[in-house]
Amino acid sequence: MSDYFSHLRTPPPAPRLTNKDKAERWTLENPKGWAAFHQFALEIKRGGIDRIGFDTIRGRVRWEVSFVRKEQFKISNSYSPILARMLMEQNPELEGLFELKQANLA
């Protein structure tokens, strides 16, 4: 039996991406930028600095990519806590470099 009104139903909305999903997608879509985060964080850690704000590194990456390399670079500030965690998870040498607070990953 056919449902006469089935054509009037709207499909369910697509699942909403969380900031964590968006940040992870950003790292995949911007491998050069993500590599710069790794590079600069390691330089800082190996230079003897034990703690630093992630936004300091984000600012340096923005400068390097945008003004030195002359490449288009965009990143949401709301990704910072997620990317800081990802950096430390992916590279144990960076563990503890960033002070982490409770993050809303939604």
The model's pLDDT over 32-76, given as tens digits with 9 standing for 90+, comes to 899 999 999 999 999 999 999 999 999 999 998 888 878 787 889
The reported pLDDT for the residue numbered 7 is: 65
The parent domain of residue 48 ranges over: 31-94
- Helical spans, DSSP H, in the chain: 19-29, 31-46, 54-63, 80-90
The reported pLDDT for the residue numbered 65 is: 84
> Whole-angstrom Cα distance, residue 86 to residue 79?
10
Q: Is residue 11 part of a domain?
A: no
Q: Is residue 85 part of a domain?
A: yes
Q: Is residue 41 part of a domain?
A: yes
Which residue, 38, 52, 46, is CA-closest to 96?
52
Residue 78: CB partners within 8 Å, gap ≥ 6?
19
